[in-house]
A and B are shown apart, each in its own frame.
Chain A
Amino acid sequence: MSAQNVRDAVIIGGNRIPFARAHSAYATAGNQDMLTSTLNGLVARFGLQGQQLGTVAAGAVMKHSKNFNLTRESVLGTPLDPKTPAFDVQMACATGMEAIGSLANKIKLGQIDSAIGGGVDSISDAPIVVTDELRGILMEANRAKTLSQRLKALSKIRPGHLAPQAPGVNEPRTGLSMGEHMAITAHAWGITRAEQDELALASHKNLAAAYDRGFFDDLVTPFKGLSRDNNMRADSTLEKLGKLSPAFGRDLGEDATMTAANSTALTDGASAVLLGSEEWADAHDLPKLANFIDYEEGAVDFVDGAEGLLMAPAYAAARMLKRNNLSFEDFEYLEIHEAFASTVLAQIKAWESEEFCKNKLGLDASLGTIDRSRLNVNGSSLAAGHPFAATGGRIVASLAKELHGKPGKLGFISVCAAGGQGITAIIEGR
């Protein structure tokens, strides 16, 4: 459908390990273990042993400095030809989408014929570092030329410097957590607790149903004894969800709506998607699930409160749909990453709002209505979990599989990210 004078970038398939709640099944696995295992599963699924691919791109949001070459080191741990190049990507929760989108562009341009894009994240093996003060002292000691200079530097160490520093989850410029930011946006859009709980419940039910009908048989490879996402609660009910106390926006009192159940849990996991040109897929007897049509990055000014932290996809989608002359009615399936249930609902309300589309997006009318029965049909992050950089790969592979056998049918993807950013994308079944 893309009128651009470039060739198709084909989504061949994907693989991920089951996502695990932080400090559970993968507590002792690091990013490199998880990404390597995910790539190994992908290689095994498609018989890529010994093959030299164009490029592998992946990344992690929580990354140890020792993993500076995380993706390349992971590739070297697989049966892929070691001459396969790799690079790391980082765009917070949109890392996986950015990796896949940029690789699709390289394929479209004919720069490469094949690629793997993905991401990995571990909360359980988060990079704990020393304080800035201690690091300053240690570096000073390192620069010292004499023993006395060194001792003088080291003598500045105070007990308080020794406290380990976990990576921050709060926005550096506002000091607010993502959940607190989202609570502000949710309140502004008048999103109710009931709507959020219904969305969370649908996510669990859809994911469990997809597992039960074998949908993930060729999308997930077990890891460390886990064969399904352990955050999934197939037996959840609205009653159970309704009993939870608010976790974010508690200063809103009675109006606080966001709970642990309608917000994503911290999760460990990894995902990867195999992409190729049509010719490459055919030459290697590989399936062609869908085409990666287009993607768009977006960012909003959230620091001074002009827009909600996780609303960037609203703006990216507007530009992307306009460029492709599409509205939301044109999509067979929609995958909106459930950072929080309210994130999905706020984006939908924005796109359906004539006022927002006119005033904020500069459009003549709303972007259309969103058919909820087409939304996150195989579950999303509220059920599966959200290992930050791995979510893009999970969504692209699942949506491509769902669209396979429906040539020309379109799928829409939205993934919000920290720092007021986000990515939207379009894929087309084949």
Chain B
Amino acid sequence: MPKDIYTDFANTGFGRTLTKNLGLPQPARLRRHRPGQALARGPVVVLGATEASAALADRMLGWGLDVRRHIGPKEKVAAVVACFDSVSTPAQLSEVVLELGSLLKQLMPSGRVITVFRDPTGTRDPAVRAARSAVQGLTRSTAHEMRVGGTANGIVLADSLDASAPGAAGALRFLLSGRSAFVSGQFISVDTVNGALPQDWDQPLRDQVAVVTGAARGIGAAIARVLRRDGASVILVDIPAAGEQLAAVANEVSGTALQLDITALDAGERILAHAAQHYGRLDIVVHNAGITRDKLLANMDDSRWNSVIAVNIESQLRMNRAFLASELFNSDAHGGSGMGPRIVSLASTSGIAGNRGQTNYAASKAGVMGMVAATSAQMASRHGTINAVAPGFIETEMTAKIPFATREVARRLNSLNQGGLPVDVAETIAFLASPQAGGTSGLTLRVCGQNLVGA
């Protein structure tokens, strides 16, 4: 993984002064999740006298947080939860928005702003929809204005969803925690009351069995580690040629290594057979394996185009058909866990915004997002979910190969002024795979530090 020397320097005493005086980006050290870590380092202020604000405040009190409705002008604030779930016209936003604004300077490093509102597409009333959409705009802009590692994100509740649904609590806790360190300017929609809150928030995946493709290195290895840390047993899949590294990661996470080319026609069946033999169940599938074969479209050849499509999207479609045809991948039917199966796929910001030289890659990743949206209904029939995660600039072996100057620019082009780490992507995947995310499906969630590309 490349070293981010600039961020190291900017976090020294002299570096802080110099970057500030020169008006240079000031990337902060992000507060990332550690097991046992406090959810918030200080008071959490809840704004807005709404149904959701009552439900979420109760929830946070239950977590032992210092929840306030008002706070003194000198006190530091860990997070602000601004609830707009009752707005019916844009004019009604101002009270909570201005209160939120007055608190921004009191936010601690890696502070959090979380807006809560109803799904704009859930209404036909122009004023209501305008008000709800306005919250999206103000959330994104707030994210751009956050300082020292702070993030701003939104929770979008379905029109008639009870705000005490487990999915709302799960999203709130994820956004408050260090697990969402590199997620900013994003929205987590909670559509159903499905899901369950874990008994132990440090082990939400206890007794679950997960398969991760492309697990030998980089983001895939980080996903395996985080899923293991959160309590899951992990099946690690990668191509046979990557077997030595795959075995090392498998041994690190006490998982099992399955050497398999996911483009094989029976890849899904072989994963199911392995899971059946070694674990007797399969609860979580993480489609992480992917390749890039960059070339301008004018120079594209069939092997570059076809291999990217085959690995990045066709294989996932084929494997999902096998999983969805299998009773093994139906943890809801097994009972016990109280959650249905989960699929999480890796998309990319290239799939959202496009990227020069990546027609093949962007096609495949946009395809992933389409697949996720369309598979959601099938997963719902087993009370399961499917979602995608779109990483922005992540510090990996792959991005280390980008020329220095290009890499340095790419790193800073987001609201957090730094590249994300593989663990940031892994944390979001682990969240979407968790029982507490059961209300969220069909979503593509970006882990990009609010990258300017693909907004």
Assess whether B257 is in contact with A214, with CB atoms less than 8 Å apart: no
Contacts of A40 in B (CB 8 A): 247-248, 251
Is A196 interfacial (CB 8 A cutoff)? no
Distance in angstroms between the alpha carbons of A216 and B243 in the assembled complex: 12
Assess whether A285 is in contact with B257, with CB atoms less than 8 Å apart: no
Q: Please encode chain A, from 331 to 371, with 1 for each CB lying within 8 Å of some chain B CB and 0 for all others.
A: 00000000000000000000000000000000000000000
Assess whether B240 is in contact with A227, with CB atoms less than 8 Å apart: yes
Is B181 interfacial (CB 8 A cutoff)? no
Interface core residue of B250, B261, B277 (most chain A CB under 10 Å)? B250
Assess whether B247 is in contact with A47, with CB atoms less than 8 Å apart: no
Residues of chain A from 176 to 213 with CB closer than 8 A to chain B in the complex: none
Is A302 interfacial (CB 8 A cutoff)? no
Shortest C-beta distance, B198 to chain A (Å), equals 24
Distance in angstroms between the alpha carbons of A214 and B258 in the assembled complex: 12
Residues of chain A from 276 to 307 with CB closer than 8 A to chain B in the complex: 285-287
The size bracket of the interface on B is 20 to 34
- Known contacts A41-B247, A221-B243, A223-B244; A287 and B277 CB within 8 A of each other: yes
Distance in angstroms between the alpha carbons of A49 and B254 in the assembled complex: 6
Q: Please encode chain A, from 66 to 90, with 1 for each CB lying within 8 Å of some chain B CB and 0 for all others.
A: 0000000000001100000000000
Assess whether B251 is in contact with A79, with CB atoms less than 8 Å apart: yes
Distance in angstroms between the alpha carbons of A40 and B250 in the assembled complex: 10
The size bracket of the interface on A is 20 to 34
Residues of chain A from 45 to 104 with CB closer than 8 A to chain B in the complex: 45-47, 49-50, 78-79
Assess whether B256 is in contact with A45, with CB atoms less than 8 Å apart: yes
Assess whether A227 is in contact with B247, with CB atoms less than 8 Å apart: no
Is A261 interfacial (CB 8 A cutoff)? no
Distance in angstroms between the alpha carbons of A149 and B119 in the assembled complex: 96
Contacts of A41 in B (CB 8 A): 243-244, 247, 257
The residue on B at minimum CB distance from A227 is B241
Contacts of A127 in B (CB 8 A): none
Contacts of B257 in A (CB 8 A): 41, 44-45, 221
Shortest C-beta distance, A269 to chain B (Å), equals 14
Distance in angstroms between the alpha carbons of A223 and B240 in the assembled complex: 11
Q: Please encode chain B, from 134 to 178, with 1 for each CB lying within 8 Å of some chain A CB and 0 for all others.
A: 000000000000000000000000000000000000000000000
Assess whether B277 is in contact with A227, with CB atoms less than 8 Å apart: no
Assess whether B240 is in contact with A47, with CB atoms less than 8 Å apart: no
Residues of chain A from 150 to 180 with CB closer than 8 A to chain B in the complex: none
Contacts of A221 in B (CB 8 A): 243-244, 246-247, 257, 259
Assess whether A44 is in contact with B277, with CB atoms less than 8 Å apart: no
Assess whether B243 is in contact with A46, with CB atoms less than 8 Å apart: no
Contacts of B277 in A (CB 8 A): 285-287
Assess whether A214 is in contact with B251, with CB atoms less than 8 Å apart: no
Distance in angstroms between the alpha carbons of A326 and B55 in the assembled complex: 76
Residues of chain B from 184 to 237 with CB closer than 8 A to chain A in the complex: 236
Residues of chain B from 264 to 283 with CB closer than 8 A to chain A in the complex: 264, 277-280
Contacts of A50 in B (CB 8 A): 254
Shortest C-beta distance, A284 to chain B (Å), equals 9
Distance in angstroms between the alpha carbons of A222 and B259 in the assembled complex: 10
Contacts of B278 in A (CB 8 A): 46-47, 285-286
Assess whether B251 is in contact with A222, with CB atoms less than 8 Å apart: no
Contacts of B242 in A (CB 8 A): 222
Is A397 interfacial (CB 8 A cutoff)? no
Contact of A220 among B243, B246, B256 (CB under 8 A): B243
Is B438 interfacial (CB 8 A cutoff)? no
Shortest C-beta distance, B225 to chain A (Å), equals 14
- Known contacts A44-B251, A79-B251; A37 and B244 CB within 8 A of each other: yes
Assess whether A285 is in contact with B280, with CB atoms less than 8 Å apart: yes
Is B260 interfacial (CB 8 A cutoff)? yes
Contacts of B243 in A (CB 8 A): 41, 220-222, 227
Is B392 interfacial (CB 8 A cutoff)? no
Distance in angstroms between the alpha carbons of A214 and B280 in the assembled complex: 24
The residue on A at minimum CB distance from B276 is A285
Distance in angstroms between the alpha carbons of A372 and B261 in the assembled complex: 32
Contacts of A286 in B (CB 8 A): 277-278
Contacts of B247 in A (CB 8 A): 40-41, 43-45, 221
Assess whether A214 is in contact with B244, with CB atoms less than 8 Å apart: no
Is B255 interfacial (CB 8 A cutoff)? yes
Contacts of B261 in A (CB 8 A): 214, 217
Shortest C-beta distance, A399 to chain B (Å), equals 20
Distance in angstroms between the alpha carbons of A41 and B240 in the assembled complex: 12
Distance in angstroms between the alpha carbons of A216 and B241 in the assembled complex: 11
Interface core residue of A43, A45, A49, A78 (most chain B CB under 10 Å)? A45
Shortest C-beta distance, A157 to chain B (Å), equals 45
Is A402 interfacial (CB 8 A cutoff)? no
Assess whether A222 is in contact with B255, with CB atoms less than 8 Å apart: no
Is A125 interfacial (CB 8 A cutoff)? no
Q: Which 5 A-B pairs have the closest CB atoms?
A: A44-B247, A44-B250, A44-B257, A47-B256, A221-B243
A–B Cβ pairs within 8 angstroms, 29 of them: A40-B247, A40-B251, A41-B244, A41-B247, A43-B247, A44-B236, A44-B248, A44-B251, A44-B256, A44-B257, A45-B247, A47-B250, A49-B251, A49-B254, A50-B254, A79-B251, A214-B264, A217-B240, A217-B261, A221-B243, A221-B247, A221-B257, A221-B259, A222-B241, A222-B244, A227-B240, A227-B241, A285-B277, A285-B279
Q: Name A's B-contacting residues (CB within 8 A).
A: 37, 40-41, 43-47, 49-50, 78-79, 214, 216-218, 220-224, 227, 285-287
Contacts A43-B247, A217-B259, A220-B243 aside, 9 further interface pairs with beta carbons under 8 A come to A40-B251, A41-B244, A41-B247, A43-B251, A47-B255, A221-B257, A223-B244, A227-B243, A285-B277
